[in-house]
Amino acid sequence: MKIFLDTAETDIVSKHWKTGLIDGLTTNPTLIRKSGRKHEEVYQELKDIGIPDISMEVIGNTENMIAEGKRLHKKFGKCATIKVPCTPDGLAACVRLSLDGIRVNVTLIFSPAQAILAAKAKAAYVSPFVGRVDDNSFGGLCLVKDIAKVFREHMVRTEVLAASVRDVRSVGRAFEYGADIVTMPTGVFEKMYKHVLTDAGLKQFDIDYAESLKADGS
């Protein structure tokens, strides 16, 4: 069971990495563009922080994705996971990169059939997009459950990385339904700490502790 952050904000990543609760990180061109930074500048900072698993997206045709994936892996080493789309070109690139010992995350998964193809392409991870499936009136978490079931039945080593997760409840459900990894925005991760009953219990403990000190004459 692993937690990844889905962000390109390196300052925030550094803060949460220090908790010891984060296992890796996903990025995409949109997140990096919003950060106002260059892709490889962000990747280098994340590597320097100590993130051991960073999804780095590549685009283009098969040969372009292979060339860029190999270049990124050579530059950033074992922390580089090459992220490709679930398309014919992306899956062909996945096969060849995986055979070279490079970890690949196949993204934009919206059906068990796509996940099966990605697993056949020797992907390390498949990334079903929970929130985007929900946006189109289908069950995003059910997709995670269906993929995990198929992988268990056939003893597939490819891990299910639930992506586009937008709330704390979905994090718990994704793990319940068999996700190996859940990647989430930092705001969702921060909310995982919180519960109204925890706050109420802590407040009562503080009151009781103060009262016990008075009773002891302290």
CA dist list (Å): 199 to 79, 100, 192, 202, 207 = 37, 50, 13, 5, 12
Q: Residue 73 class from Cβ within 10 Å (0-12 exposed, 13-18 middle, 19+ buried)?
A: buried
Q: pLDDT band at 13, cuts 50/70/90? A: very high
Contact 123, 95 (CB under 8 A): no
Q: pLDDT band at 194, cuts 50/70/90? A: confident
pLDDT digit string (tens) for 147-190?
999 999 999 999 999 998 999 999 999 999 999 999 999 999 99
Q: Class of the 2-193 domain?
A: alpha beta
pLDDT digit string (tens) for 127-152?
999 988 767 767 899 999 999 999 99
Q: What is the pLDDT of residue 65?
A: 98
- The one-character DSSP state at 183 is E
DSSP string, 104-146: EEEEEE-SHHHHHHHHHTT-SEEEEBHHHHHHTTS-HHHHHHH
CA dist 7 and 28 (Å) reads 8
> What's the pTM?
0.91
pLDDT digit string (tens) for 25-75?
999 989 999 888 999 999 999 999 999 999 999 999 999 999 999 999 999
Establish whether 74 is a catalytic residue.
no
For the chain, what is the mean pLDDT?
A: 93
Measured from the Cβ of residue 49, the count of other Cβ atoms closer than 10 Å reads 18
Which percentage of the chain shows pLDDT scores above 90?
A: 80
Q: What is the pLDDT of residue 106?
A: 98
Catalytic residue among 83, 122, 203, 214: 83
Please provide residue 156's backbone torsions phi and psi, each rounded to the nearest 5 degrees: -80, 135
Q: What are the tokens at 79?
A: 């922390």
| H or E stretch covering 202 | helix 196-215
Contact 103, 137 (CB under 8 A): no
Contact 52, 24 (CB under 8 A): yes
